Structure 1
Amino acid sequence: MLSCKNDDKKENLKTEIINSQDYKEVIFTKSYKTTGDIRELNIQYNNFLLKFRFIEDITLLQFVVDGENVSDWKQILFNFEYLPDNYDGIRLLFDEKKSKGILLLPGYTEQYPNLIAYEFDEDHFSYLNNFNIKDEDLNKISFENLNKEWKKGSFKLTKKSDKYILTFCDVSKKNILNFESSVFNDLLPETEIKKYIDKVTKSEKAKSNRNYSLSEFLEDIKKKGLERFFEKKCDLNQDNREDEIYVFWDSKEEKFLVYIVLLNEDSSVQKTFENENILTPPAPNSTGTGLNGIKWNNYDFTFVDNISEGPTQTRFITFQYDKINKQIKLQKYSIVTTYADESKNWENTFTTNNFGEVQFIDYDSKTIDDLCNNKNSR
C-alpha cells in the first residue's frame, strides 16, 4: 500500500514557502526643511518617493513613482512632533525584488510603543494596520530604553497569505519583540482635511512653478465660487514690491476669506497666506457690520471690522510680516466701542504681551477675545 503522507507534508511546506514573503529594512535618503508654516520631509528609495508635509497637527503624504503621482495628497496616521530632528524613527522595508514596500511610522507616543504601517508598490499606496508590542514582550526591553533601542535595532516583516508578522531585534540580537495587529482609523472627514490639502497644493505649486501668475491665482479662486469683495495693494514683506491683500466672499458658507499674496519681481505668486476667521459676516438687514476697510502704515496692515451697531463696536486687527521667520504675525488687537454719548466711549488694546505669538493663518477672533478676556477687561 502506498502512502502519500510525507508527500503531503512536502507539498504543504512548498505551498507555505511560496505564499510567504519577507520584507527587510533598506537604507534610504531623506531631506527635510521648513517652508513657511509647512514642514517638509522627502524620503527616496530607488524610484519610490514619499513626500510628507506637516501642517499644524496634520500630516499629509503624496506617493510618487518614476516622477508620476500614484497617490495624491492624503492624511496619514502620523504625529511628526514625536520624531527627532533627523526623523530616524521612520523605517522602510522591501521584499526581495524591491518592488513592494512597507512604510513603518512611529506611533502616537514619544517612546514609540507601537507602529503605523502602510504598504505600497508601483501602482498603489494604502494603510495596512497598526502594530502593537505583544503583552508578553513588553518587559524584554525597559520602557525608558525602548526609544534608544528602537533606533539601533532592525525590523523584519513576513507576509503569509494575508497575514503580516512583524518582529524587532535589538542591536545585541538577544531580545526579539513580537507584534500583534490592530486597526486604528482616526482620520478627519474629507470635508475638513480639504483645506489642509489645498494649502499644501498651493505651496507645492508655488515652489515648482515660480511663474504661477496672479491671474491664475484669481482664476483658481473664481473656480471655488468665491466673489472678490475687497482688494488692497501694499508692500507687506518689505521688498519694495507691491503685494496684494484680497477679501473674498463665500456666499454658500456666508463668510469672508482673506488671502495675503506675496509677489515676485515678475509679479508671479511667491507665497500665499489664508484665513477665514478674521472678519465678521454682515448681520442680516444691517449695513453697519462687516469689513470697513484695511489700513496700511509702515508695513503694518490693519483690518477694520465692525462687529455690532448701537453702540458701534469695531475691531482693529493689526498684523506685520516677520522678515526673519517669513511669517505674518498678529501685532495688536483693539476693541473700540462708540456711543451717541461720547463720554461712554471705551477702548481696549492688547499686544503680544497679552496674546503671545499668533500667526496670521492661525488667527481666530473668538479665540483672541477669550485669550485677552475682552469682556471682563473694560
Structure 2
Amino acid sequence: MLVIIYCILCILSCQGKDSNIAAKTLVTTAAAEDYKEVRFTSKSDYTKDSENYLEISFNGFLFKIKFVDERAYLKTDYKNKTIKDFQQVIYNFTYDSDYDSAQKNIRILYNGKDGYLFLPGYTEEFPNFTVYRFSQNSFSYDRALMLKDNSCNDGEIVADGKNAARFFIINKKSGKKCDFVNDEPYPISTDSQNKDLLKLKNAVEDKNDSDLLNEFSADLNKDGKTDKIQIFKNENAKDDFEKSHFGLPIKVLLSGNDGSWRENSNSKLIFSNDGNCTSEGFSNVVTKDSYFTVELQSCYDYNVLVSGFITFKVEQNKIWLHKYGEEYFDKSNHEKKIPSKVWTQKDFGKIKFEDVDGNFLLKLKRR
C-alpha cells in the first residue's frame, strides 16, 4: 500500500515539474516572439556636407545620426531625455551606397520594453548589419551580422521563438527563411572619433539659433578652452524691443575635460518689463578672468534710472554671485549726485547663479 501511494506521489510530482517547465518555456517563447519589426518615422537632410543628419523616431525614442566625413555618430533620446550621447556607429553610406539607399535598409525590432536597432553595415560581398540594443535607459553595441543569401535580402527580420538573441530573415514573397551569421565588427578609428565628438559637442545640441541674440566667449573656468555665455530672445514679450531686452533666458556653457559642456541656465536673471517706467533692460555682458558681469538698466520713482551690474565668479564648474552694484541717474535733475551702492558676499553669502533673480535682488536692496 505504501509503495502504491509513493508511486502516485512521484507521478504527481513529475507532472508538476513538467507543467512548470512547460510554463517557463511558453513565457520564454512569448517574450522572444514579442520582438517584431516596427514602423518608424524618419527625417533627414543630406544637402549640407558639414551638417548632414538623419533622425529616426518611434514610441518616444529618437535616434539622431550625424555624419562627419565618412563616419556616423548616433545620439539616443527617450521622451526628450538623453539616454546615450553621441557615439560612433557603423553605418553604410559610402562605397557603392549613398545616404538615401542606406536609410531604406534600417530595421527596428521592439517588444514594448526594449529592442534592437539594425543599421546597414559597410558594403561587402553579402548584406550585413551592425546591431545595437536599446531600452528606455540604455543603448549599446550588440553584434555584427551577415546574410549569406541574397534571396532573403528584402525580407522581414524576426527573432527566433526559442532564443531572442538569434535572428533570421524571411523572404516576403516566398516565405523562405535565411539565417544570419555572426560577422566581424568593422574597426573604429579612435583618433578620428575623439576629434569628431568634440566638434559635435561644441555645436551644442538643440540650440535654437533663431532665438540666440548674442554670444560671449571667454575661458571662465581656466581649463584652456573657450566657454560661452548665450543670451536668447524672450518670444513671449509683446513687441520686438521687449523680446530683445526684457525677460531674456541666459545660458552659461562651461567646457569639460571630455569635450562636453556643462550648462547653467537662468530665465529670471534678466528681469521682465514692469511697465512703470522707460528703461533699456539688458544691455551687455562683460568678461574678465573668471568673472562675468551682466549689465542691465531698470528704474524707480519714474525719474531715476538704475544701471545694474550683476557679477558672477566661476570656480571650476560652479558659478557663484560675486557682487551686485547699482549706479543712479535722475532724469529730472541731471546735476543731482546719487551715491552708488554695492553688495558683496559679505551681505548675501554663497548664492548660485541659477538662484539669482529680480526678487532676490529686491530683497537684497531692502535689507
Structure 2-normalised TM-score? 0.50
Which amino acid in the other structure matches residue 107 of structure 2? R
Alpha-carbon separation, structure 2, partners of 1:175 and 1:83: 28
Match of 2:142 in 1: 128
1:17 offset after TM fit, Å?
Answer: 2.5
Alpha-carbon separation, structure 2, partners of 1:221 and 1:170: 59
Contact 2:219 2:225 in 1 (8 A): no
The verdict on how the C-alpha distance between 1:223 and 1:185 changes in structure 2, with shifts beyond 3 A counting, is farther
The verdict on how the C-alpha distance between 1:210 and 1:159 changes in structure 2, with shifts beyond 3 A counting, is farther
1:165 offset after TM fit, Å?
Answer: 1.1
Which one of the candidate residues 56, 80, 86 is aligned to 2:69?
Answer: 56
Q: Which deviates further from its counterpart, 205-214 or 1-10?
A: 205-214
Contact 2:144 2:183 in 1 (8 A): yes
Which amino acid in the other structure matches residue 114 of structure 1? N
What's the secondary structure of 1:186's corresponding residue?
Answer: coil
Alpha-carbon separation, structure 2, partners of 1:73 and 1:43: 14
Match of 1:85 in 2: 100
Match of 1:14 in 2: 23
What's the secondary structure of 1:9's corresponding residue?
Answer: helix
Alpha-carbon separation, structure 1, partners of 2:105 and 2:201: 26
Q: Give a deviation string over 1:275-311, Cα, whole Å, max 9, x none.
A: xxxxxxxxxxxxxxxxxxxxxxxxxxxxxxxxxxxxx
The verdict on how the C-alpha distance between 1:111 and 1:221 changes in structure 2, with shifts beyond 3 A counting, is farther
Alpha-carbon separation, structure 1, partners of 2:225 and 2:203: 20
1:105 aligns with 2:107: no
1:119 aligns with 2:133: yes
Alpha-carbon separation, structure 1, partners of 2:115 and 2:77: 13
Contact 1:33 1:41 in 2 (8 A): yes
Which amino acid in the other structure matches residue 201 of structure 1? K
What's the secondary structure of 1:74's corresponding residue?
Answer: strand
Contact 2:126 2:146 in 1 (8 A): no
Match of 1:157 in 2: 159
1:27 aligns with 2:29: no
1:80 offset after TM fit, Å?
Answer: 2.6
The verdict on how the C-alpha distance between 1:174 and 1:120 changes in structure 2, with shifts beyond 3 A counting, is same
Alpha-carbon separation, structure 2, partners of 1:197 and 1:112: 31
- After TM superposition, the structure 1 = structure 2 runs for residues 194-213 of structure 1, keeping only pairs within 5 Å, are 194-203=194-203, 205=205, 208-210=208-210
Alpha-carbon separation, structure 2, partners of 1:47 and 1:100: 12
1:39 aligns with 2:47: no
Alpha-carbon separation, structure 1, partners of 2:161 and 2:224: 48
1:126 offset after TM fit, Å?
Answer: 0.6
Match of 2:193 in 1: 193
Alpha-carbon separation, structure 1, partners of 2:206 and 2:75: 17
1:210 offset after TM fit, Å?
Answer: 4.0
User: Highest Rg: 1 or 2?
Assistant: 2
Which amino acid in the other structure matches residue 108 of structure 2? L
- After TM superposition, the structure 1 = structure 2 runs for residues 253-264 of structure 1, keeping only pairs within 5 Å, are none
Q: Give a deviation string over 1:125-159, Cα, whole Å, max 9, x none.
A: 011111233xxxx4xx4x4xx5xx53x42111248
Instruction: Structure 2: give runs of 5+ residues left out of the alignment.
Output: 1-6, 227-367
Q: Which deviates further from its counterpart, 60-69 or 174-183?
A: 174-183
Alpha-carbon separation, structure 2, partners of 1:196 and 1:47: 27
Match of 2:320 in 1: none
Which amino acid in the other structure matches residue 31 of structure 1? K
Match of 1:174 in 2: 175
What's the secondary structure of 1:19's corresponding residue?
Answer: helix
Structure 1-normalised TM-score? 0.49
Which amino acid in the other structure matches residue 17 of structure 2? D
Alpha-carbon separation, structure 2, partners of 1:100 and 1:222: 40
1:115 offset after TM fit, Å?
Answer: 1.6
The verdict on how the C-alpha distance between 1:204 and 1:92 changes in structure 2, with shifts beyond 3 A counting, is farther
Alpha-carbon separation, structure 1, partners of 2:203 and 2:179: 41
- After TM superposition, the structure 1 = structure 2 runs for residues 309-328 of structure 1, keeping only pairs within 5 Å, are none
1:214 offset after TM fit, Å?
Answer: 6.7
Q: Give a deviation string over 1:158-196, Cα, whole Å, max 9, x none.
A: 4857x601010011243111123356262232x541221
Alpha-carbon separation, structure 2, partners of 1:44 and 1:53: 15
- After TM superposition, the structure 1 = structure 2 runs for residues 202-351 of structure 1, keeping only pairs within 5 Å, are 202-203=202-203, 205=205, 208-210=208-210, 215-216=215-216, 218-219=217-218, 225=224
Alpha-carbon separation, structure 2, partners of 1:187 and 1:223: 32
Which amino acid in the other structure matches residue 53 of structure 1? K
Alpha-carbon separation, structure 2, partners of 1:178 and 1:213: 56
Which amino acid in the other structure matches residue 195 of structure 2? K
Q: Give a deviation string over 1:16-44, Cα, whole Å, max 9, x none.
A: 23234231101110011033423100001
Alpha-carbon separation, structure 1, partners of 2:41 and 2:27: 32
What's the secondary structure of 2:104's corresponding residue?
Answer: coil
Alpha-carbon separation, structure 2, partners of 1:166 and 1:192: 32
